[in-house]
Amino acid sequence: MPEAPAAAALNALMDPRSVAVVGASSNPDKAGGRPLQYMVQTGYEGALYPVNPNRAEILSLRAYPSLADLPETPDVCVIAVPVDRVEDYIVQCGELGIRSAIVFASGYAETGREGLARQERLRAIALANGMALAGPNCLGMLNARTGAAPTFTTALERGPMLAQGPIAFVSQSGAVGAFLLGMIQDAGLGITHFVTTGNEAVLDLADYISYLLEDAHTRAIAGYLEGADGARLVEVAKNALARGKPLVLMKVGASRAGAAASAAHTGKLAGVDAVYDAVFRRYAVTRARSLEELLDFSRSLSMSVLPAGAGVGIVSTSGGAGILLADWCERLGLDVVDLAPETVERLRLALPWFAGRRNPVDTTGRPLWEPEMMHDALRAVAQDPGVDVILCHVGLAPGPGRRIADELVRAANAVGKPVLVCWLREVDPEPHARLGRSGIPVFSDPVRMARAASVAVSYVRSRGVARDRTVAPTIAVVRPVPGGPVVAEHDARRWLVAHGLTGLSEELARSAADAVAAAERIGYPVCLKLVSPDVPHRSDIGGVRLGLAAPEEVERAYDEILASAGSGAPQARIDGVLVTEQVTEPGVELIVSGFRDQAFGPCVLCGIGGVLAEVMRDTVIRPAPVDREEARAMLSELRGAALLQGARGARVADVGAAASAIVLVSELIAGVTEDVETIEINPLLVLGEGRGIRVLDALVTRKAREAHGRAR
């Protein structure tokens, strides 16, 4: 297979020194007219080459009849022609050595089999020529630093070119991207690049993020994500973490499609969305749940200085706004610190006698006509040793806005701590522009500002503990997984015991007399459970009897289980009835499961288990394998974690043994063949501290051979 485009080709696309537009038009309503119009208006620094055989001049630019007639080989060729003519131009680009192209046209993979074939041909031509191809079916992109705007989005009709700043945006949706672009304009946000990926025939979202991680002008990257190759996404997340460049992603499509086999509880508990959450958590990727959050979080994370801790100082021209901010900061886990005595004294000297000098600091409205007062108050709070980040509420300042902005910038530059500002946009955009150019994010809502500050604090914390957990396996898969698409409890537990877990005394019975004899050998009390590869959830059809303490109880239970199976699952194959010891020692029931996610591969899940697993839905997921440290962290993150710590007078559970079980299952799912879909223990009984664990029930599922063959 041809190699992916080289870095030079991607650089030609993202930072072009010359742009050719095939299908160029002087009509701004046409896809071939808008890119030229935008780049003429914005003063694009590079050369523009309209290509149209029917025009000698377009927008005062010399037009050329063909790509071959251009005076130089352009860095990028924008192909703004109907779908049936695109392929010819991609071939020409390859022949002429043009390193990159952008295809606007739709009619490719999104339309069905024929469109997919067209797209595959484009991909093959581009890769054969080492060409970076954006799209097809995309809106193009822009580079705010150079004014390159090879895009036909109407968002740029709303106003001037976007301001330059430290944030780059990548969107897998063109329509959402255009809407986001409008929001960026309204917010006055400065950016480096904006990219829509389209059908991703050659370049995908991960390619663009990889490029932007190398871009010296980009400090934070925000992305709208519908789906991605898991391995590629992990790769760029690791790279972003290593480089200290925050990555903010809005992942949509929170469905369970592609989760683990529905035969296991895991399939109902772990969805695609939860796995994305787990991957993001591991690699310090910030997740946005709305476009508003995507903008807010990326601008707070793009600050040149991020918070060293969670201590917050609030400076507000409104006492009410200060209280609102204090409430939300505490709700979000931020610490509204008690200011040091020397800070209070500085504030006494800086503010009028009637101002509030405790945190939150109420400056009153005086700084609105004495801007130096805002500088002195903000600087006093920022110098407090307990303050890591400053939230400043200005509200409205239509008159002295520029002077206030200058004083805020002066104070922020002097103290070297992050400052966030809440200030409604004025008629004069310059105050906000001055703050933006100085790296001070501005918000229109105090709650949004507080959330953005908490995200910056959380990112720094998670970055400090996140690492590339390339876990060295501590076990080997010593015995193959037993055969069959569903490996029921008896065989599944024996397989797990062979790898080091603690099971139960058990025997398989095929008659009531056998069951009684087994119970006598095991010792009362015992449990009886139906064994059938066709009935993974036996309790649902009455296939389980617990606490049997006498021979007659065992005999009766055996007959009842078979009768229940006959009525509840008449077509099921019955292998017998399993007789196991009844564990009477108290403990906490967990579910521990390894499963294979379609995007990210092996994962491990733990949660509150037993028959209430699906009701409680208290679970934590990580990519597999995990080490003991991460396994313990998973247990601590459960809402029911207190149960393991001896809640309400119960014994403290053996958390170390539970963590070891999680590690083992995570390594097993990562080490077995790809056809194994789920390894589930439910419940895993965690006994008192030092007493270990017991595998009370287990299940292994694998993909049907045909489906596995097709997937490969």
- Going along the chain from its start, the domains and CATH numbers come out as 7-154 (3.40.50.720), 305-465 (3.40.50.261), 505-581 (3.30.1490.20), 588-711 (3.30.470.20)
pLDDT band at 708 (very low <50, low <70, confident <90, very high): very low
pLDDT band at 594 (very low <50, low <70, confident <90, very high): very high
| Res 261 pLDDT > 90 | no
Give residue 711's pLDDT.
Answer: 31
Give residue 260's pLDDT.
Answer: 39
Give residue 471's pLDDT.
Answer: 64
Work out the average pLDDT over 283-289. 96
| Res 267 pLDDT > 60 | no
What H or E segment, with its residue span, contains residue 187? helix 174-187
pLDDT band at 306 (very low <50, low <70, confident <90, very high): very high
Dihedral sign, Cα of residue 497, residue 500, residue 502, residue 505 = positive
pLDDT band at 396 (very low <50, low <70, confident <90, very high): confident
**DSSP, residue by residue, 538-589:** GGGGT-EEEEE-SHHHHHHHHHHHHHHHHHH-TT----EEEEEE---S--EE
Give residue 161's pLDDT.
Answer: 67
Q: Are 10 and 16 in contact (CB under 8 A)?
A: no
Work out the average pLDDT over 103-122. 95
Residue 545's contacts (CB-CB under 8 Å, 6 or more residues apart) are 527, 528, 529, 557, 560, 561
| Res 712 pLDDT > 50 | no
Q: Are 561 and 545 in contact (CB under 8 A)?
A: yes
Give residue 365's pLDDT.
Answer: 85
Of the candidates 588, 591, 488, the one whose C-alpha atom is nearest the C-alpha of residue 543 is 488
pLDDT band at 1 (very low <50, low <70, confident <90, very high): very low
Give residue 706's pLDDT.
Answer: 43
In tens, the pLDDT along 455-487 reads 999 999 998 877 555 666 777 787 888 888 888
Q: How many CB atoms lie within 10 A of CB 216?
A: 6
| Res 653 pLDDT > 90 | yes
Dihedral sign, Cα of residue 425, residue 426, residue 427, residue 429 = negative
Q: Which of 267-276, 561-570, 625-634 has the lowest mean pLDDT?
A: 267-276
Give residue 255's pLDDT.
Answer: 52
Q: Which of 96-110, 150-164, 649-663 has the lowest mean pLDDT?
A: 150-164
Give residue 519's pLDDT.
Answer: 96
The DSSP code for 68 is G
| Residue 505 φ/ψ, nearest 5 degrees | -70, 130
Cα dihedral value 381, 385, 387, 392, nearest 10: 20
In tens, the pLDDT along 367-389 reads 788 889 989 999 999 999 999 99
In three-state secondary structure terms, 650 is: coil
Give the span between the Cα atoms of 101 and 20, in whole angstroms: 9
Q: Are 177 and 223 in contact (CB under 8 A)?
A: no
Q: How many CB atoms lie within 10 A of CB 637?
A: 14
Stated pTM of the model: 0.89
Give residue 707's pLDDT.
Answer: 39
In tens, the pLDDT along 139-164 reads 999 999 999 999 999 988 887 667 89
In tens, the pLDDT along 13-57 reads 999 999 999 999 999 889 999 999 999 988 898 999 999 999 999
Residue by residue, what is the 3-state secondary structure of 681-711?
A: EEEEEECECCCCEEECCEEEEECCHHHHHHH
Give the span between the Cα atoms of 124 and 116, in whole angstroms: 12
In tens, the pLDDT along 42-98 reads 889 899 999 999 999 999 999 999 999 999 999 999 999 999 999 999 999 999 999
| Res 171 pLDDT > 70 | yes
Q: How far is CA 20 from CA 26, 36, 211, in A?
A: 14, 9, 22
- Peptide bond before residue 371 is cis, with ω within 30 degrees of 0: no
Give the span between the Cα atoms of 321 and 449, in whole angstroms: 12
